[in-house]
Chain A
């Protein structure tokens, strides 16, 4: 398995522009998570999906952020309009879920480093 695949690896955009981050989870994993990592706030959960359905989006900072999972193999995180404070590394992770994994480990993608100028 190729693991969790994220694109792009790096994104530099101007304030006000729309940014779309993409994620392909591991096949067969029922759970997909979007995290944001900054020095100040550490790893924050933004939203997660179970079987393509958003379950908890309480971590989404504001209405400028939206996430979708149209099918089991693809998810997007969109920021519109982007602001400099959105600069961070955004990770996607997938997991087979409580009932399936002996160790409940998440597999993280390589992340997207977003810089908003």
Chain B
């Protein structure tokens, strides 16, 4: 089966850099996604990595190492509005890769 591990909570200060790690176990890995969810809101797509390396989108970057079954989301120049839960999710061979399995989420608290 699939399993994903990510820290339950991370706290950082405004302007800082924070890294949220995700390790996974799955069969037939396709790619790793990251989603952001504010309290009371819906998950929104942030990034997707299918190949090893770093993908940068503005202040957010996502990294994948397929050999280590590991990825991370890097948030730079933290802002108060970045306080939210962040979920990693894997696509794998189940159902030809059309399904996502989500991790338990990391609650990020940004303090002034």
A70, CB-defined interface residue at 8 Å:
no
Within A2-61, the residues touching B (CB, 8 Å) are: 31, 33, 42-43, 45, 48, 50, 55-56
> What residues on B are CB-neighbors of A107 within 8 Å?
45
Find B48's partner among A43, A55, A93, A105 (CB 8 Å cutoff). Answer: A105
Question: In the complex, how many angstroms separate the beta carbon of A47 from the nearest chain B beta carbon?
Answer: 11
Inter-chain CB contacts under 8 Å: number? 53
Structural contact, B45 and A98, CB atoms closer than 8 A: no
Structural contact, A43 and B98, CB atoms closer than 8 A: no
> What residues on A are CB-neighbors of B101 within 8 Å?
45
Within B35-54, the residues touching A (CB, 8 Å) are: 35, 41-45, 47-48
Structural contact, B97 and A98, CB atoms closer than 8 A: yes
Structural contact, B87 and A43, CB atoms closer than 8 A: yes
In whole angstroms, what is the CA distance A3 to B35 when docked?
A: 16
Structural contact, B98 and A97, CB atoms closer than 8 A: yes
Question: In the complex, how many angstroms separate the beta carbon of A88 from the nearest chain B beta carbon?
Answer: 14
In the complex formed, the residue of A with least CB distance to B100 is A106
In the complex formed, the residue of A with least CB distance to B50 is A104
Instruction: List residues of chain A with CB under 8 Å of any chain B CB.
Output: 31, 33, 42-43, 45, 48, 50, 55-56, 91, 93, 95, 97-98, 103-111
